[in-house]
Amino acid sequence: MKGLRVLGDYALEFLVITLLVAVSAISVVFLVPMLVGVTGYFSKELDARRFKDIFTTIAHNWKVIVFYTIFQLIIIVVPVLNIYFFNTHPDKLNKFVLAISVIALLFGTVYLATAPTVIVNMNVKFRQLIFNGFMMLFGSLWRSALSVLMLLGIVALTLKYPYLLVLTLYVVPMMISKLMKENFYKLKAKALNTSVEQLKRKEKEDDYLDEKGAVKPADVHFENVASFEKTESDANADETQDVDESDGVITDEAQEVDKVDDVNADETQDVENVDEQNESDVMTDAPHEVDVEENGEDLKR
């Protein structure tokens, strides 16, 4: 049953992601934002990701996505037009224009592979995006080369075999997001002087990036964690001490109440003793009066 459920989840993902990417590719302008959203979607595990993550990722990073989209449209669309449509009348400058177009297309493809992962995982501005997107290549050269080749293959299929694109619009974005995320982990672990495995374990506990997208030092991270744990333990100890002190106050009050009860009991016992003494005196005096009266009658006789 679990295998069938997982298979159904992947089948649903294939249909929805393929449809969204295809519609955005037809519009051209919305392709780049959609790739960023899909990267944010694939950055989570299968059980945790939701289709709304695509649109929340776009909405959360819309400022940098606007500049990134303009950059990609210029550096990819224009070279493609030069290479495949405007290259119909060869002349002396044609080879130079063709070479510039090929280089621009290559750079645009590189950023199409690396930049979405940077946008999803780092809070960056456009200038930082350009720098970090280029540095992502050095996380792993073979993963970067494979990602770029897959994107170039999509460009080739678009121009020659467009009917085969349906098979790639889901698989290629998913594979590129996974490959680039591993590059990101490797560079981040190197900056923090730790291992990728430890970084993945701590990913859900702490945020290693500051507001500018820079990686925090590992020492600062561990000091913050230790400080937080110490503060929390001290707070719990203070609460326990307050409870103990309050219990001590209640105990003291109870002891005072017991003492008052003992005093009242003693006073009650004293009163009872006095009453008993009075009663005994009355009983003792009564026989004496009777004796006096009897002696008086004897004297009269």
Tell me what pLDDT residue 149 has: 92
Cα distance between residue 22 and residue 19, in whole Å:
5
Query: How sure is the predictor about 221, in pLDDT bands with cuts at 50, 70 and 90?
Result: very low
Tell me what pLDDT residue 42 has: 94
Residue 24 phi, psi (nearest 5): -70, -35
Q: Which two tokens stand for residue 242?
A: 């307050």
Cβ-Cβ contacts under 8 Å for 133 (sequence gap 6 or more): 110, 111, 114, 115, 118
Tell me what pLDDT residue 208 has: 45
Residues 61-80: what's their mean pLDDT?
Answer: 91
Query: How sure is the predictor about 245, in pLDDT bands with cuts at 50, 70 and 90?
Result: very low
What's the pTM value of the predicted model, to 2 decimals?
0.65
SS3 state at 209 = strand
- The answer to which of 70-74, 92-96, 125-129, 251-255 has the lowest mean pLDDT is 251-255
State the DSSP string of 72-94.
HIIIIIHHHHHHHTSTTS--TTH
Query: How sure is the predictor about 284, in pLDDT bands with cuts at 50, 70 and 90?
Result: very low
The answer to whether the Cα torsion of 27, 28, 30, 34 is positive or negative is positive
Cα distance between residue 41 and residue 63, in whole Å:
19
Tell me what pLDDT residue 237 has: 52
Tell me what pLDDT residue 40 has: 94
Residues 126-137: what's their mean pLDDT?
Answer: 94
Mean pLDDT, rounded, of the chain: 75
Cβ-Cβ contacts under 8 Å for 75 (sequence gap 6 or more): 104, 105, 107, 108, 111
Please list, residue by residue across 144-171, b when 16 or more beta carbons sit within 10 angstroms of its beta carbon and e when fewer do: beebbebbeebbeeeeeeeeebeebbbe
The answer to whether the Cα torsion of 131, 136, 138, 144 is positive or negative is negative
Residues 94-107: what's their mean pLDDT?
Answer: 83
Domain ranges across the chain:
2-207
Q: Which two tokens stand for residue 64?
A: 């940098």
Cα distance between residue 173 and residue 35, in whole Å:
7
Q: Are 187 and 135 in contact (CB under 8 A)?
A: yes
Tell me what pLDDT residue 205 has: 66
Q: Which pLDDT tens digit goes with each residue over 7-56?
A: 888 999 999 999 999 999 888 889 999 999 999 999 988 888 999 999 99
